[in-house]
């Protein structure tokens, strides 16, 4: 009987295993996870889970019994320590080794930590990636406690929103000249910054953390502008790195993640990769996405390849972030944009930002404006672009936006 091993039991690994069964794979199927728990959703960790609005049992993607019911051997709390790509042998931290017919790597990404020299090893310094991270810092979230958040990306901003809502005193530092510098336009960053200011979060841009020191029962943070801040704990949101150590040691080709083709195949036959750990071709470039929708869609496409399919994966990137009562939805990738059209929404507090390169629509950031998001998403997926002048005119409805002439394919 053929045996497929899926390494990494996060969103991608779980989706891949479930899809293999849905497509009729009836061989042996194993899913190995390093964390001690069944696959769960990460996005709520920095949102509803930290707010106490979503209990642990609802964080799990499926009930524990689901995997056995599906004939998926789920082994948690176990690292894969080595991989021999020649005969596809997998070595586990519990001492066993398993020979597989096909292997899927869905190892995800790991948070970048503050260097020890900056105080990154001190107690009270946290990252926000895993359930263990969220549970470890839960005890810190008491009214009036002071938190320093390092990094003004979406994870840091979501953590700031949760902390502010819980009544903490929140300072967020971003080394770059502005928050969201890597992922969003000035317009979106300014909108989000104003929202946080309205909730009392002290956002300091162009200001990094120099060093953390223990000081009595608290921490002292020295910032790059020379100021000192006394705080109770730190959340570090300075990004993630794809988890490629296993693949790299096995000799698989790495290029900003485990390099796969449009079918999810790595440089070695019989070994596949999907999700946050994998880089793949997209519109003539090679990209890697850190998002749940990509984890699911790429994993499912790769599962189909593993069962003999030949449909290339065409990513349709989208993202979301919830902060306070604001729902931010993002369609497309804005890389290479040369201008942004601001469109007021129909309701107070709603707005959308449309990224263009020349006449081509690349992406949309929609704040409290699901209609703008869905309209933008549909257009981007269809390769269509609205005329920018019409878009900027709120008198022109989303449904009646005139479109630019289609490019020749």
Partner 1 sequence: MMIKLSFVTSDGQEITTTARAGISLMEAARAANIPGILAECGGACSCSTCHVYVDRDWIGKLPGKAEDEADLLDFAFEPDEETSRLSCQVTLTPELDGMRVMVPERQG
C-beta of 408: minimal distance to partner 1 in Å? 27
Residue 70 found at the interface with partner 1 (CB under 8 A): yes
Region from 1-9, 65-73, 282-290, 336-344 binding partner 1, contact rule CB under 8 A = 65-73
Vertex 255 angle, CA 297 and 151, to 5°: 75
The DSSP code sequence of 387-408 is -HHHHT-TTS-GGGPPBPPPPP
For 53, list phi and psi in degrees, rounded to 5.
-90, -10
Residue 327 found at the interface with partner 1 (CB under 8 A): yes
Residue 54 structure tokens: 């979503």
Q: Which is nearer to partner 1, 59 or 277 (CB)?
A: 59
Q: Using CB under 8 A, which of 2, 53, 58, 314 touches partner 1?
A: 58
The DSSP code sequence of 18-73 is HHHHHTT--SEEEEE-SSSS--B-SGGGGTHHHHTSS-HHHHBSS-HHHHHHTTEE
Q: Using CB under 8 A, which of 27, 63, 200, 312 touches partner 1?
A: 63
Q: Which is nearer to partner 1, 59 or 207 (CB)?
A: 59
Residue 222 found at the interface with partner 1 (CB under 8 A): no
C-beta of 184: minimal distance to partner 1 in Å? 17
C-beta of 52: minimal distance to partner 1 in Å? 15
C-beta of 17: minimal distance to partner 1 in Å? 12
Please tell me the distance from the alpha carbon of residue 168 to that of residue 160, in angstroms, as a whole number.
Answer: 9
347 Cα distance to chain centroid: 29
Q: Which is nearer to partner 1, 97 or 347 (CB)?
A: 347
C-beta of 227: minimal distance to partner 1 in Å? 36
| Cβ atoms within 10 Å, residue 327 | 16
C-beta of 251: minimal distance to partner 1 in Å? 34
According to DSSP, residue 313 is labeled P
- Spatial contact of 196 and 160, defined as CB atoms under 8 Å apart: yes
Size of the site for partner 1 (CB under 8 A): 28
The residues facing 147 across adjacent strands are: 170, 233
Please tell me the distance from the alpha carbon of residue 294 to that of residue 305, in angstroms, as a whole number.
Answer: 16
Segment 347 to 366, residues that bind partner 1, using CB under 8 A: 347
The residues facing 29 across adjacent strands are: 4, 72
Q: Which is nearer to partner 1, 266 or 368 (CB)?
A: 368
Segment 288 to 307, residues that bind partner 1, using CB under 8 A: 292-293, 296
Q: Using CB under 8 A, which of 62, 166, 265, 268 touches partner 1?
A: 62
Residue 374 found at the interface with partner 1 (CB under 8 A): yes
Residue 371 found at the interface with partner 1 (CB under 8 A): yes
Burial of 63 (0-12, 13-18, 19+ CB in 10 A): exposed
Q: Which is nearest to 35 in space by CA: 142, 181, 133, 150?
A: 133
C-beta of 134: minimal distance to partner 1 in Å? 15
209 Cα distance to chain centroid: 23
Q: Which is nearer to partner 1, 131 or 246 (CB)?
A: 131
Residue 51 found at the interface with partner 1 (CB under 8 A): no
Segment 30 to 49, residues that bind partner 1, using CB under 8 A: 41, 43-44, 47
3-state helix/strand/coil string of 344-388: ECCCCCCEEEEEEECCEEEEEEEECCHHHHHHHHHHHHCCCCECH
Residue 75 found at the interface with partner 1 (CB under 8 A): no
Q: Per-residue x/- mask for partner 1, residues 165 to 194, rule CB under 8 A?
A: ------------------------------
Q: Using CB under 8 A, which of 23, 51, 61, 169 touches partner 1?
A: 61
Which chain residues interact with partner 1 by CB under 8 A?
Answer: 18, 22, 41, 43-44, 47, 58, 61-63, 66, 69-70, 292-293, 296, 318, 320, 322, 327, 329, 347, 368, 370-371, 374-375, 378
């Amino acid at each position: 009987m053929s045996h497929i091993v899926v390494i990494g039991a996060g969103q991608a690994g779980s989706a891949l295993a479930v899809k293999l069964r849905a497509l009729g794979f009836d061989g042996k199927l194993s899913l190995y996870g390093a964390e001690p728990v069944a696959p769960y959703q990460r996005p709520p960790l920095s949102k509803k889970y930290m707010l106490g609005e979503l209990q642990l049992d609802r964080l799990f993607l499926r009930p524990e019994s689901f995997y056995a019911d599906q004939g998926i051997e789920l082994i948690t709390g176990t690292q894969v320590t080595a991989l021999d790509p020649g005969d596809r042998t997998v070595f586990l931290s519990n001492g066993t080794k398993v020979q597989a017919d096909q292997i899927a790597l869905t190892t995800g990404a790991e948070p970048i930590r503050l260097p020890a020299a900056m105080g990154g090893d001190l107690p009270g310094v946290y990252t926000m990636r895993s359930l263990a991270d969220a549970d470890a810092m839960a005890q810190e979230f008491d009214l009036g406690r002071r938190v320093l958040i390092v990094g003004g990306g979406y994870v840091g901003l979501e953590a700031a929103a949760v902390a502010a809502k819980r009544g903490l005193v929140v300072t967020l530092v971003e080394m770059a000249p502005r928050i969201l510098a890597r992922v969003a336009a000035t317009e979106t960053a300014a909108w989000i910054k104003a929202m946080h200011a309205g909730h009392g979060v002290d956002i300091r841009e162009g200001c990094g953390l120099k060093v953390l020191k223990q000081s009595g029962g608290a921490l002292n943070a020295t910032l790059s502008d020379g100021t000192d801040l006394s705080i109770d704990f730190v959340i570090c949101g300075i990004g993630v790195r794809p988890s490629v150590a296993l693949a790299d040691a096995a000799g698989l080709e790495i290029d900003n993640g485990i390099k796969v083709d449009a079918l999810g195949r790595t440089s070695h036959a019989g070994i596949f990769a999907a999700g946050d750990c994998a880089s793949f071709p997209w519109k003539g470039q090679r990209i890697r996405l850190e998002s749940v929708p990509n984890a699911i869609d790429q994993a499912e496409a790769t599962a189909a390849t593993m069962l003999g399919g030949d449909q290339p994966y065409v990513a349709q990137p989208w993202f979301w972030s919830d902060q306070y009562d604001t729902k931010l939805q993002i369609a497309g990738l804005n890389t290479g944009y040369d201008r942004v059209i601001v469109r007021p929404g129909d309701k107070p507090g709603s707005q959308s930002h449309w990224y263009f390169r020349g006449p081509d629509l690349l992406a949309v950031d929609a704040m409290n404006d699901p209609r703008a998001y869905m309209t933008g998403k549909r257009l981007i997926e269809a390769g269509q672009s609205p005329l920018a002048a019409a878009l900027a005119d709120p008198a022109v409805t989303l449904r009646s936006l005139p479109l630019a002439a289609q490019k020749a394919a």
